[in-house]
Amino acid sequence: MSERTPPANLAAERAVLGACLLERNAIVALAPVLTADDFYLQKHGLIYAAMLACYHERTPPDLATVAERLRRHAQLDAIGGVVFLSDMVAEVPTAVHALYYAEIVSRTATLRRLIEAGGKVTALGYNEQDALEVTLDQAEQTIFAITQRQRGSDFVPLEVVVSDYFERATQHPEQPTPTGFYDLDRRFNGGWRPGNLVLLAARPGMGKTGLALSIAANLARAGRGVGIVSLEMSRDELLERLVAMHLGQDLRHVQQQVRAGDRATLDALGVMSSAPIYIDDTPAPTLMELRSKARRLHSQHQLALVIVDYLQLLVDDSRPVSRVEEVGRISRGLKTLARELQVPVLALSQLNRAIERRLTPVPMLSDLRDSGSLEQDAHIVLFIHREELYDPNTAKRGIAELIVAKNRNGPIGSELLRFVAPTTGFQNLQR
């Protein structure tokens, strides 16, 4: 069987180069989206690399300057001389469609990289030495790196940053992930931003899982997908909590009502069955496994939020020397996952016991358990504090204070929510 020719469009490559030589400002739009490696013909890549070099040196990349740069690096003869450059300029009457041709060049380059990645994945399949989980993760990383390359770029001039930012802000505004709690969403300017790592920490019994599920339910009602990695509770336990919140009834009675055939409870189960919430309750998953599953789920269902309950129960694959190092690696891994998927990751976390020995047991950043990396890596750190757990006679029964201890893109402070003890859920506080 004859060898197939890799995908390429040489006419589009020449059109891109000709446009850049014809209109010196064309390179401004192309530099962030096209690299020299994207060209199939080596000489085309050399020419484009020379154009980029001129551009970054603030030299107009025209016929004379590009030819001179190629000559200085002994590459002019290799690409066909000045005549080859002049011919490309003559072939392009206008530079208006430069970006269109650049997208064609980029697309065929991506297809070639996909073919190359396929070969690497095949080689991984024949390697029987590594553990299966490691091989699968390497295969996924190989393919995922191609999509990341499409998003990523090298250093970008501020001129391009401003142009891209203005276009996104006016034509494709960023879609935050709202929590469904009005005061909280106002504080975060509509919700959590894509790529944010949000840390929700509290002592046991404060309602971490309940708050996370309340947020998940709010998103699901709006038709937005949520992935939940539950390391502490089974999927049945999470379902019972979601049903109890939906009905506003005591969590302890859900299973009994199901067995009794209670119509309202069965209807609630029907509502839950169509909610875009996806649960993985695999015990003791590794960080590598979590990231792999989250990537697949997001590619299938376009998630708005990933919830990890809770962070300290994750296992790092790299055999760290200490617990502090392990939690730090897990924290950075979740932050990377949020950026890869471009969705917020809500990671639940324990607080250390030192808080119980204080006269006023209100959480602080120093109470985060096992690692200072948690505070450093998180874009947002939230604490739950319920005064009724420390003072049964308080006037704030049923009131939870949600403390915003860190907010990288806004003010810190606190908001009040209603805690519904029978359901373990949270609601907006009526004022």
Burial 376-390 (b: 16+ CB within 10 A, else e): ebbbbbbbbbbbbee
pLDDT tens digits, residue range 286-318?
Answer: 787 888 888 888 888 889 999 998 888 877 766
Phi and psi (nearest 5°) for 170? -100, -30
CB 142 within 8 A of CB 117: yes
Write out the residue limits of the CATH 3.40.50.300 domain(s) in the chain: 182-428
Q: Kindly state the DSSP code that residue 318 receives in the 8-state scheme.
A: T
- C-alpha distances (whole Å) from 242 to each of 24, 224, 329 are 59, 16, 31
Question: Domain 182-428 carries which CATH code?
Answer: 3.40.50.300
**Neighbouring-strand partners of residue 384:** 402
C-alpha–C-alpha distance, residues 374 and 44, integer Å = 47
CB 209 within 8 A of CB 424: yes
- Please give the sequence-ordered ranges of beta strands (E in DSSP) within 292-379, or none if there are none: 303-309, 345-350
* Class of residue 217 by CB neighbours under 10 A (exposed 0-12, middle 13-18, buried 19+): buried
pLDDT tens digits, residue range 33-62?
Answer: 888 989 999 999 999 999 988 887 778 888
CA-wise closest residue to 49 among 58, 60, 227, 38: 38
Write out the residue limits of the CATH 1.10.860.10 domain(s) in the chain: 10-151
Mean pLDDT on 216-221:
94
- Return the axis-axis angle of helices 235-247 and 263-273, rounded to nearest 10°: 120
Does domain 10-151 match CATH 3.20.20.70? Answer: no
C-alpha–C-alpha distance, residues 273 and 242, integer Å = 11
CA-wise closest residue to 228 among 194, 283, 278, 268: 278
Neighbours of 301 (CB within 10 A): 13
Residue 431 pLDDT level (bands cut at 50, 70, 90): low
C-alpha–C-alpha distance, residues 316 and 330, integer Å = 6
Task: Give me the pLDDT at residue 155, please.
Answer: 63
C-alpha–C-alpha distance, residues 39 and 44, integer Å = 6
Neighbours of 326 (CB within 10 A): 20
Q: Is the pLDDT of residue 151 over 60?
A: no
The H-or-E segment that residue 287 falls in is: helix 287-301
Is 36 or 173 the better-scoring residue by pLDDT? Answer: 36
Distance of CA 132 to the CA centre of its chain: 25
Place of tokens 């060209």: 39
pLDDT tens digits, residue range 314-371?
Answer: 777 666 667 777 778 888 889 988 988 889 999 998 887 777 777 778 888 887 866 6
Mean pLDDT on 390-403:
86
Amino acid in position 211 = L
Q: Kindly state the DSSP code that residue 193 receives in the 8-state scheme.
A: P
Task: Give me the pLDDT at residue 1, please.
Answer: 41
C-alpha–C-alpha distance, residues 83 and 97, integer Å = 23
Phi and psi (nearest 5°) for 277? -115, 130
